[in-house]
């Protein structure tokens, strides 16, 4: 019997390597019939290896850039753009806008410059043509009215020497002062005034 039990132990050792599994069970059955107590051995079974889980690839869609807001148009720019609406181009000389500074403000506006003023003038690019429109942005409606009055009082309709403006108007709309010197035969100053008034609103 001792010999049989040793065979069982050896078979058990072999079974751990995955071999002689049937031999182990035969000896175990024989020992049971001879009433020999032996430990019950369950063959070791390797746990199944889970297949690797693939992580889904999520494509990142780049966010669309936010549309840039268009810069706000100043009222001075709006006045300039709409200044000659309704006037035939045939009656207009070749004009250019010039933003006025401390160096040239008094020459066109006929009053002293202030740092708080923003202004432009619309005049012919060349030639002796009596045409000048000055628009000044001031700090208040009262100031604009005073500026318009001073510009008209001090202006020189013959500043071009060879020609003279026969229509001279000094007025204001809100805090914008306007001086108009033009040839009334070709240009209706009232149309220009209405254009400025509409742009200032």
pLDDT band at 201 (very low <50, low <70, confident <90, very high): confident
Rounded to an integer, the average pLDDT of 164-182 is 97
* pLDDT surpassing 50 at residue 46: yes
Query: Is-contact 160 131, C-beta < 8 A?
Result: no
Rounded to an integer, the average pLDDT of 98-112 is 97
For the ranges 7-21, 74-88, 146-160, which has the lowest average pLDDT? 7-21
pLDDT band at 197 (very low <50, low <70, confident <90, very high): very high
pLDDT band at 42 (very low <50, low <70, confident <90, very high): low
Q: What single string gives the DSSP state of each residue in the chain?
A: -HHHHHHHHHHHHHHTTT--HHHHHHHHHHHHHTT------PPP-PPPPPPPPPPPPPPPPPPPPPPPPPPPPPHHHHHHHHTTTTS-GGGS--EEEEE--TTTHHHHHSS---TT-EEEEEEESSSS---EEEEEE-SSHHHHHHHHHHHHHH--TTTTSS---SEEEEEEETTEEEEEEE-TTT--HHHHHHHHHHHH-
Rounded to an integer, the average pLDDT of 44-70 is 64
pLDDT band at 72 (very low <50, low <70, confident <90, very high): confident
Which tokens is 175 given? 């805090």
What is the pTM for the complete model shown?
A: 0.66
* pLDDT surpassing 90 at residue 59: no
Quick one: pLDDT at residue 25?
Answer: 54
Quick one: pLDDT at residue 178?
Answer: 98
pLDDT band at 73 (very low <50, low <70, confident <90, very high): confident
pLDDT band at 4 (very low <50, low <70, confident <90, very high): very low
| Average of per-residue pLDDT values in the chain | 82
Ordered by start, the domain boundaries in the chain are 2-33, 75-200
């Amino acid at each position: 019997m001792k010999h049989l039990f040793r065979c069982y132990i050896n078979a058990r050792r072999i079974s751990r390597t995955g071999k002689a599994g049937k031999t182990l069970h035969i000896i175990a059955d024989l020992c049971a019939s001879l009433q020999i107590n032996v430990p019950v051995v369950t063959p070791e079974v390797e746990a199944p290896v889970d297949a690797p889980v693939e992580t889904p690839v999520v494509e990142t869609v780049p966010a669309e850039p936010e549309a840039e807001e268009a810069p706000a148009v100043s009222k001075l720019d709006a006045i300039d753009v709409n200044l000659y609406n309704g006037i035939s181009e045939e009656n207009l000389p070749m004009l250019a806008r010039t933003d006025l500074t401390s160096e040239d403000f008094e020459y066109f506006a006929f009053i002293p410059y202030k740092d708080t003023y923003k202004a432009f003038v619309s005049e012919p690019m060349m030639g002796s043509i009596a045409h000048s429109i000055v628009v000044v942005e001031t700090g208040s409606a009262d100031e604009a009215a005073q500026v318009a009055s001073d510009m008209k009082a001090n202006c020189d309709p013959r500043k071009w020497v060879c020609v003279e403006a026969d229509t001279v108007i000094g007025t204001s709309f809100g805090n914008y002062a306007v001086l108009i010197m033009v040839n009334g035969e070709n240009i209706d100053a009232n149309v220009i005034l209405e254009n400025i008034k509409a742009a200032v609103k």
